[in-house]
Amino acid sequence: MLDLADDFKPLDILAIAAHPDDVEQTCGGTLIRMAEQGYRTGVLDLTAGEMGTRGTPALRIEESQHAAKHMLCAWRGNQRFPDARLDNSLPARMTLAGEIRRLRPRVVILPYWEGRHPDHYVASKLGYESCFLAGLAKLDEGESVPHRPFKVIYASLYANVTPSFVVDISAQFERRMKALLAYRSQYGDHVEGSGLFPKEEEIRERLGSVARFYGNLIGVKYGEPFVVKEAMRVDDIAQMGVRSF
């Protein structure tokens, strides 16, 4: 695991997701781009995916560490909450709030708040409420210092919604695919679950098509979409990106 040492510097950006490989699919390119720009990025997976058809918790966590290196992350951890039974309970919120205080991110990326898998939308609500709790001065979390992220954004790649903005990941797309395919237990050629899991070529084609769709919205090759709940501020309308015609 990428260690949280005593001299650990706060993260600029933290992506919180339900399972190992969720981040790689939804906002991995953005994390890579931000790391290339000098920001400290990190990922916190809430479960080890132990209920999945393929792989073991230990193997999936090991694979997530390899993927983190491809994504140039400064830190990656796993909360080991129960997979397929993720619960937005007070103990879970308190635990996650304590981790947010230790990592001190300025920006948190969460899953979109609706989805097919219950763990994904539970992770979204759990993450948001934990970010709020982490900023309460009277929260009983030992010696930890209160911290509330400045911004929460939602990775909306698998949601059928209009994005608030799209990040150009054209230069990062291939590295993002290397990060995702580091999960050989999930995307390698296995007999187990062969009827449920697409082959590597199909994965590349699917994710490439989705990324090209969002890239096309902003006039680039590949993109990743995000949603925010607040209005977007623009200080110079003469310098706005994306052509109207």
Q: How many CA atoms are closer than 13 Å to the CA of 65, on its beta-carbon side? A: 10
Using CB atoms within 10 A of its CB, is residue 138 exposed (0-12), middle (13-18) or buried (19+)? exposed
In this predicted structure, the answer to whether residue 191 has a pLDDT above a threshold of 80 is no
| Number of neighbouring beta carbons within 10 Å of residue 145 | 10
pLDDT, tens only, 3-15: 555 567 999 999 9
Query: Is 6 inside a domain boundary?
Result: no
In this predicted structure, the answer to whether residue 141 has a pLDDT above a threshold of 70 is no
Query: Is 223 inside a domain boundary?
Result: yes
pLDDT at 1: 56
Query: Is 214 inside a domain boundary?
Result: yes
The overall average pLDDT reported for the chain is 93
Query: What is d(CA 221, CA 245) in angstroms, rounded to the nearest whole number?
Result: 18
pLDDT at 199: 80
Q: Which residues pair with 189 in a beta bridge?
A: none
Query: What is d(CA 198, CA 186) in angstroms, rounded to the nearest whole number?
Result: 10
pLDDT above 90 covers a percentage of the chain that reads: 82
- Extract the tokens encoding 107: 């920006």
**CATH number for the domain that contains residue 81:** 3.40.50.10320
**Confidence band for 190, pLDDT divided at 50, 70 and 90:** low
Burial 11-23 (b: 16+ CB within 10 A, else e): bbbbbbbbbbbbb
Domain extent at residue 67? 13-228
Query: Is 245 inside a domain boundary?
Result: no
Q: Given the structure tokens 């080890």, which residue do they identify?
A: 48
pLDDT, tens only, 38-70: 999 999 999 998 888 778 999 999 999 999 999
- Extract the tokens encoding 84: 């397929």
Q: Given the structure tokens 């010696």, which residue do they identify?
A: 143
Query: Is 216 inside a domain boundary?
Result: yes
Tally of domains in the chain? 1
Query: Is 5 inside a domain boundary?
Result: no
Query: Is 139 inside a domain boundary?
Result: yes
Contact between residue 64 and residue 20 where contact means Cβ atoms under 8 Å apart? yes
**Would you put residue 110 in left (φ > 0), alpha (ψ -120 to 50) or beta?**
beta
Query: Is 239 inside a domain boundary?
Result: no
Q: What is the chain's percent helix, strand, coil content, to nearest 5? A: 40, 15, 45
